[in-house]
Amino acid sequence: MGKFSGLSRMGFKTGIVYRAHFFVSLIKIPLTLVVFFYLWRSIFMFSGEEIIQGYTFAEMFIYYVLSMLVGTLIYCDVDAWMNEGIKDGDVVGDFLRPVTYMKQLFCQYFGLRELTFLIEVIPIMVVSLFFLNVPLPSLLFGMLFILAVFLAILLNYFFTFCVGLTAFWLKEIQGIRRVKTAVMAFLEGALIPLTFFPLIFQSVFKYLPFQYLRFVPINIFLEKYALSEVVVLLSIQTVWILIFFFIAKTVFKLAFRKFAGAGI
Amino acid sequence: MNSAISVKNLTKTFRTKTREAGVSASFKAIFKPNYKKVHAVNNISFDVKEGELVAFIGPNGAGKSTTLKMLSGILFQDKGECRVNSLDPQTQRKQLAFQIGTVFGQKPQLWFHLPAIESFNLFSKIYELDKEEYTKRMLSLVKKFEIEDLIHQPVRKLSLGQRMRCEFVLSLLHNPKVLFLDEPTIGLDVVVKKTIRELIKKINKEDNVTVILTSHDIADVENICNRVIIVNKGKIVYDGSFERIKKQYLAKKFVKVLSETPINSFEMKGVEIVKKTKFSIELEVNTKETSMGKLIDFLTKNNTINDLSVEETPVEEVIAEIYQR
């Protein structure tokens, strides 16, 4: 536990070092939300419908507020850290420690999540509660939402770690990362709710891990599911975490063998 | 005494991509890279006793860092065996991590954006150190390396020399039995180099830490190590004391004489005249054949000497000569 908190503290502290960066990131989310607000207001006005794909205008806006919130909380760029470390050889230092690489990165990532929670998420929550009239879910669904987000943080980490591992073979994975970001914006439900996609796509999404990162937690908050459905979804989410955890572990072994065999 | 490190027939070959210059060659290399085999370390064996201070020197690409990496478990050998504190680095990397410390002159391990003290505290947790013992050890190291005023500033604001001292403290916090130093004095000024050398000696003596250091700077070696292993092209070309190098290769001395009276040419066994003007003469003397005293006696008898200086062959040249054998 000492190692864990030690490393996560470091992630936290590194994140807070640069004050300007810190304050600018505070206005990023409100700004984006203003854009989405006006975009969807005009879409609803022109269509003349009260409900589009199961969402009222109010719900749609809340969807984006929550999307920002969840997206910020689960944001993970360990693949970029890994890419840098492998390219300039700094991973050597990480490998010399008596803690596994995956654990070291996770702790730093988690520390940054704590920081994000304090400086980015709490302001959004305060603003949405007092100014945007975001309706709160029942206590039960609220708790389930928190659980789902927590699991999404884990899922995103292990998935991103797997992506980062490719850098051991490819050295430069910026291209892969850009494609990943673009594709995931769709598959997570960050750009538009997944219900906007044709049914065929939606049935495919069900079998992918990505909807569990954003779309599912948000809709738990909006109470779009029955309780029994939520239980099933959270179980599948957990299974995905385990799958990526084992992939990450196995591939890391191969990656290390490659690294130690060929050098860099 | 136990051997802290034993290396037997260690061999490592790399396959590196080679690419010719030019745009078309770059494209070709994407689809069909050319590979070249490089024998980084070629069948080397040596033993290091507990508490020894050994220098590993050699030209760039001689295999020094490769060997250190294999000893610390982050590079696997193709053939041969190595043991560090009777652990196999390849299979027992985690246990080994608790017992070795590393300082890489070119790869800082401190967190760049945070004060060094934060990195120290983190390491105390990673290495599972007892809190009280850690604080005591940290404070004594901080004092020894004279970094009391530096540990609360972000590392990026420190000078290279200050940073290196912090790196040393970081690598010593968990009381390692073996210390690997990969070019610890690279880029440092003369004064800082001297301080670092003194400190390495001190750590080696006081805590009985086995130290292996690689360097390009012969002065590092001359001043702190009693044993030198010279590698070139992946092979050990010399393994022994620094004194022996001196005795074997530094028999030649250069003597410069300024005289108030004109100097005549002369002949003496083991003495060669390099340059002669009317009032001065430069000689190369092989002290194995003619003692310096005899020569000076001869010179003072025949001339009125104004000034006389004796120079050794620079050690660098000697080492370079060993490299080339």
Question: Cβ of A263 and B75 within 8 Å?
Answer: yes
Interface ipTM above 0.90: no
Band (B1; pLDDT cuts 50, 70, 90): low
B215 CB within 8 Å of a chain A CB: no
Distance from CA of B61 to the nearest CA of A (A): 14
Predicted pLDDT at B140: 92
Mean pLDDT on B271-291 = 85
Better-scored residue on pLDDT, A3 or A99: A99
- A3 and B125 within 8 Å at the Cβ level: the answer is yes
Mean pLDDT value of segment A147-168: 96
**Model confidence at A263: pLDDT above 70:** no
Which residues numbered 76-105 in B keep a CB inside 8 Å of some CB on A? Answer: 76, 90, 93-95, 97-98, 100, 102, 104
pTM: 0.83
Query: pLDDT per residue over B201-238, tens digit each?
Result: 999 998 889 999 988 777 788 888 889 998 888 888 88
Burial class, B58, CB count within 10 angstroms (exposed 0-12 / middle 13-18 / buried 19+):
buried
Which of 12-41 (B) contact A at CB < 8 A? Answer: 14-15, 40
Q: Which of B103, B122, B152, B183 to mutate to test the interface with A (most CBs of A within 10 A)?
A: B122
Q: How many CB atoms lie within 10 A of CB A39?
A: 12
Residue B123 has pLDDT above 70, yes or no: yes
pLDDT in tens, A161-208: 999 999 999 989 999 999 999 999 889 988 889 988 899 988 898 899
Q: Please give the interface size between A and B, counted as residue pairs whose CB atoms are below 8 Å apart.
A: 71
Q: Which domain holds residue A140?
A: 2-262
Residue reference for tokens 């403290």: B169
Q: Which of B69, B126, B127, B171 is the best mutation test for A, with the most CBs of A within 10 A? A: B126
Convert the pLDDT of each residue in A108-127 to its tens digit. 898 888 888 887 788 777 77
- Rounded to a whole number, what is the distance in Å from the CA of B192 to chain A's nearest CA? 24
B104/A92 Cβ within 8 A:
yes
Q: Which of A5, A98, A262 faces B15 most closely, judged by CB atoms?
A: A262
Q: How many domains does chain A have?
A: 1
- Whether residue A66 contacts residue A221, with contact meaning beta carbons closer than 8 Å, is answered with yes
> Which of A61-65, B214-218, B238-242 has the least mean pLDDT?
B214-218
Residue A190 CA to residue A63 CA, distance in Å, equals: 9
